[in-house]
Structure 1
Amino acid sequence: MNNLFRGLLAGYGAKKLGGGCFSTILVFVVLWVLLGQCGATYPPVEVNTALAVESVEVAPAPLAAQALP
């Protein structure tokens, strides 16, 4: 989330939720941090290839099933 949009949302929320000067600043900081977590990227999860399932060979279908009508 870009900082301008994040600041506008945090400012609006702080104005609505904050009561006095100190609480408004505190609410702004809390909202700023919470909105900073939106869209955060996390490192990819490692996949253990040793536990991967082996490919299974499928037996061919019987000749009757392969015949055309």
Structure 2
Amino acid sequence: FALYESVRIPRTARIVWSTREMGRVYHAAGVERQVRNLLWKGKSQAEFYRGMEWLYGWKEDNCLQPR
């Protein structure tokens, strides 16, 4: 249980932080939106998914392994 707890706490903290940050970026307005669009221009869907691999790429057999 201690191993699970040591992985869960930082992971959930990262999820909360990432959720807030994604909300801010995806709902940007004005200059921030323009900068975001320039940075994302030409980025493939696969590149966006790779950025979320840490969240969605876990499996039962590796979820407690340190990353």
Greater RCO (Cα-Cα under 8 Å, separation 6 or more): 2
Q: TM-score, normalised by structure 1?
A: 0.29
Higher helix share: 2
Q: Which structure has the bigger radius of gyration?
A: 1
